[in-house]
């Protein structure tokens, strides 16, 4: 994989998940302008890596980032007269940053892609996790007084694990740990236990549901 632009965020983006971003810093405005100069939309890609230390904005900025992130594709752009952008990206594949270069206007990195491999028992675990999620969705809808987390989820074990990870109430380190896991089966097992724990909390304190609808959404494209 050639060198790609890198966008450090205080968030984890998963493959198969569409994420909106507001771009206002000069360095990331330059990143978006460079992507828009690429003719083929499919080639308008960059890496999103979660920040380990530091901040997204400000004079000090990012101090260090996690090595495992996600290759995303720029899918929607809304420009503003003052140079800001609202964009939407779609996660395509996990990546590992092998080396990075901070000498330019924004961070670039040499990366290798991390494909998901077929696992013998993954589909069984996917079916179990999907069943638990449907129970979770029904309980949350009852507590909220209307449908929430609407839409179909993928049945592919790897993409299901990413979709659930983007939905569950998790800390950034927990999300990063799931992203770094090379096993969809293990991700699904962890997420199933998380959903069960959330449902226990929701039943114990029904007036304070232990979740929030994520800003991200699953996309089958």
213/117: higher pLDDT:
117
What is the model's pLDDT at position 206? 60
DSSP 106: S
What is the model's pLDDT at position 202? 81
Q: Please identify, in words, the CATH class of the domain defined by 122-216.
A: mainly alpha
Residue labelled with tokens 């699953």: 218
Name the nearest CA neighbour of 107 among 51, 160, 185.
Answer: 51
Beta-carbon contacts of 208 under 8 Å, excluding residues fewer than 6 positions away, are none
- β-pair partners for 183: none
- Whether 19 shows a pLDDT value over 60: the answer reads yes
What is the model's pLDDT at position 167? 85
The pLDDT tens digits for 88-141 are 999 999 999 999 898 888 999 999 999 998 898 899 999 999 999 999 989 888
Per-domain residue ranges for the chain? 3-114, 122-216
Beta-carbon contacts of 219 under 8 Å, excluding residues fewer than 6 positions away, are 16, 17, 18, 90
C-alpha–C-alpha distance, residues 128 and 197, integer Å = 15
Confidence of residue 10 (pLDDT cuts 50, 70, 90): very high
What is the model's pLDDT at position 151? 79
DSSP 215: S
Mean pLDDT, the chain, integer: 87
What is the model's pLDDT at position 58? 44
- Establish whether domains 3-114 and 122-216 are of one fold: no
Burial of 118 (C-beta count, 10 Å sphere; 0-12/13-18/19+): exposed
What is the model's pLDDT at position 211? 45
Task: For strands 68-79 and 85-101, give the pairing.
Answer: antiparallel
User: Which bin fits 171, alpha (ψ -120 to 50), beta or left (φ > 0)?
Assistant: beta
> What six digits make up the tokens of 53?
């230390």
Domain 3-114 has CATH 2.30.130.40: yes
Confidence of residue 168 (pLDDT cuts 50, 70, 90): confident
C-alpha–C-alpha distance, residues 12 and 83, integer Å = 25
> What six digits make up the tokens of 146?
């209307």
> What six digits make up the tokens of 218?
């699953």
pTM for the whole structure: 0.84
- Whether 216 shows a pLDDT value over 50: the answer reads no
Residue labelled with tokens 């929607």: 76
């Amino acid at each position: 994989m050639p060198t790609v632009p890198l966008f450090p965020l205080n968030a984890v983006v998963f493959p198969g998940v569409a994420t909106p971003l507001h771009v206002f810093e000069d360095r990331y405005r330059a990143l978006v302008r460079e992507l828009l100069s690429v003719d083929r939309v499919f080639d308008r890609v960059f890496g999103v890596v979660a920040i380990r230390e530091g901040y997204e904005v400000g004079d000090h900025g990012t101090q260090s980032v996690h090595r495992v992130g996600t290759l995303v594709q720029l899918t929607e752009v809304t420009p503003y007269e003052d140079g800001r952008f609202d964009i939407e990206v779609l996660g395509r594949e996990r990546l590992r940053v092998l080396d990075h270069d901070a000498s330019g206007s924004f961070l670039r990195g040499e990366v290798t892609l991390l494909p998901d491999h077929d696992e013998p028992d993954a589909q069984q675990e996917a079916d179990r996790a999907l069943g638990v999620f449907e129970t979770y969705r029904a309980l949350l809808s009852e507590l909220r007084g209307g449908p929430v987390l609407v839409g179909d989820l993928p049945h592919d074990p790897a993409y299901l694990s990413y979709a659930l990870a983007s939905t569950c109430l998790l800390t950034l380190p927990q999300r990063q740990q799931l992203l770094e896991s090379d096993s969809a089966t293990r991700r699904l097992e962890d997420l199933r236990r998380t959903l069960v724990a959330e449902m226990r909390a929701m039943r114990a304190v029904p007036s304070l549901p232990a979740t929030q609808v994520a800003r991200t959404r699953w996309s089958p494209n």
